[in-house]
Structure 1
């Protein structure tokens, strides 16, 4: 095999132009572009899975916050439990309802809890 035959078969940079994944490619730039395109195609499903995972996590977070707020809004006993275990979350609840114009819930809770201790 002569030097020129090897160059024709192997191509620049040792590329074998007779391989099935290189058919129709003219030079090393085409091969590099093909490799980048193949890499992008393989990353697309991963990116979609990550995006879906983020969306599901956000949805679960919003749903959980709604359930927690609703439970605190409807049950004074649950608010008392929250005051013992997670007082910072109860404080967020009180501030959010005070911002919406509902005042007096904090005072009612504290009065009831003090009367229950006595």
Structure 2
């Protein structure tokens, strides 16, 4: 069995860049210990511990649309729904090793795992 370390996602809203282009599809990798330790030295995190999530996400998101670089400024400019989506995904991927949740089918009452990396898998347009 191979360890999956990268996970695809589709943002609920999407990042709008300076030219007005919408970027929704992306990839997040699992975090390393260094990813979690290094931001603690960042003065933005030292003055505002809430900024840690911005730095962490900018380190582990490896692709977002056709952006050349994912940096803290990109993460700062996400819509709050997308930021929350990525924070939740970060926790699932790094705590559980996958991006799935268990749900019960309302029709047959069977328990199934659903990959929630995509808003389409949640029945959203």
Give the TM-score band, short-chain normalised. Answer: under 0.3
Structure with the bigger percentage of helix: 1
Q: What TM-score, normalized by structure 2, do the two folds share?
A: 0.24
Larger radius of gyration: 1
Relative contact order (alpha carbons < 8 A, sep ≥ 6): 1 or 2 greater?
A: 2
